[in-house]
Amino acid sequence: MCMYKATFDLEAITPIFMRGADQRKAEIRASSIKGLMRWWFRALAGNYFGNDIAGLKKAEEYVFGSTKQRSRVVVEVEPAKSNKQIEPTSEYESYFWFSQVGRHSKPSILIEEHLQIIIKSFDIKAIEASLLSLWMALHLGGFGSRSRKFAGSIFPLKEPDTNFDVDFNFIPESNLKDYYKHSFKRIISEMNKILESLNFRRGSIDDCPKYPTLSPKTAWVFIGSLVDDPKDCIEEVGRWYLGEFNKKFMGGFRFKYADRKIVHRIYSKYRREEEIKNISANSERRPYLGLPIQFYKKFGEEHVKFTVNHWNADRRASSIIFTVNKMNNRYYPVITVLKYMFLPNYKGPVKYSGAIHREKSKIKSVGGALFILRKDEDCTMVYNHFYEELVNDLKSNFKEVFP
């Protein structure tokens, strides 16, 4: 029986915040790489299965295994460890990597570090599906913590060394728009052929699926300018997403939809000795871009600190992903939007919980419903409208390469 094998020589373009059992060291882990490949497999195969989640799970199990079935694909990584920490070089990096740098500094695999990933399988269809998933992970995402916000951008130094034919390229050579238009068409087609050959039934796709799906109906990919330094990619996207920094970020897309007076309303209720439960925040739309959201504001010797999430989900991964890729020793940012269901059975509010503190002592707990919609607003219509505005804003600032 033939063992199919693909070897990838890769380079870290941005710091990789990935750790194993020893939290004092950054470490590239095969299980984490495989986990990202599974995630992108679901997004790519979702274009075939649509609402058929049971079918999608069976296909994922066929390739990557489960508790009931051994994986048909083996992922190996060349050991790469580091106990080095980085200092952010801009306010954008500080914001995007906030939980890994500064006073929360964690070890990372540094930029320009080389690493190797080896994919093996006795099943040609399984290894082909896994390489399609890895292409997605390398081009559209990152690895490790803060991977949706530029951390862990890894890119091939050359095409993979394989003992079987791979009918798509991992490295663009010229005209990025044409490369991505052609590559997405090819990769979706190849995945569909694999799933058809395994006798999986094709499903239908909603305008807002239950999970992230690379469908022309629900996904968009954009690229930015070719530049000489990855930091310039982060800055280009940071200016669009966050705006300019002067004590706080102003003018970017994210904060256009922020209600920064929520903390003031909570503190005012506290000062008036009113009950602090349900709070109106009708202009707040940032939960659509991921939960939780942290709020903090000082008022003299006191400060308000709370977290926004949801009763049924402490986390909801961001539906917008930033990464940095490379072509001919130059760099460009990639922005991917994957629109999917906001929260199951969502009707209008999200949850907030926290406290008012005086110095280091908690003096009053706060929490309840945060109403980000008015009573007469339809939650589905508002959500769809937000994504229309997001995509249109991206089209005005970057080059669309999918759909």
Say whether 373 sits in a helix, a strand or coil.
coil
Say which residues have a Cβ less than 8 Å from residue 282's Cβ, sequence separation at least 6: 259, 371, 372, 373, 374
Among 215, 225, 305, residue whose Cα is nearest residue 266:
305
pLDDT tens digits, 175-222:
999 999 999 999 999 999 999 999 999 998 888 899 999 999 999 999
Say which residues have a Cβ less than 8 Å from residue 247's Cβ, sequence separation at least 6: none
| 403 residues of the chain, pLDDT tens digit each | 789 999 999 999 999 998 876 777 888 889 999 999 999 999 999 999 998 999 999 999 999 998 888 999 999 998 777 888 888 999 999 999 998 998 878 888 888 889 999 999 999 999 999 999 999 999 999 999 999 999 999 999 999 999 999 989 999 988 999 999 999 999 999 999 999 999 999 998 888 899 999 999 999 999 999 999 999 999 999 999 999 999 899 999 999 999 999 999 999 999 999 989 999 998 899 999 999 999 999 999 999 999 999 887 778 999 999 999 999 999 999 999 999 999 888 888 999 999 999 988 999 999 999 999 988 899 999 999 999 999 999 999 999 999 9
Sort 318 into a burial class: Cβ within 10 Å, 0-12 / 13-18 / 19+. Answer: middle
Residue 343: how many CB atoms within 10 A of its CB? 17
Distance between CA atoms of residues 247 and 242, nearest Å: 13
Q: What is the pLDDT of residue 82?
A: 80
79 phi, psi to nearest 5 deg? -55, 130
Distance between CA atoms of residues 271 and 202, nearest Å: 59
Residue-range domain boundaries for the chain: 4-204, 230-402
Q: What is the pLDDT of residue 21?
A: 67
Say whether 266 sits in a helix, a strand or coil.
helix
Among 341, 381, 395, 396, residue whose Cα is nearest residue 220:
395
Q: What is the pLDDT of residue 17?
A: 93
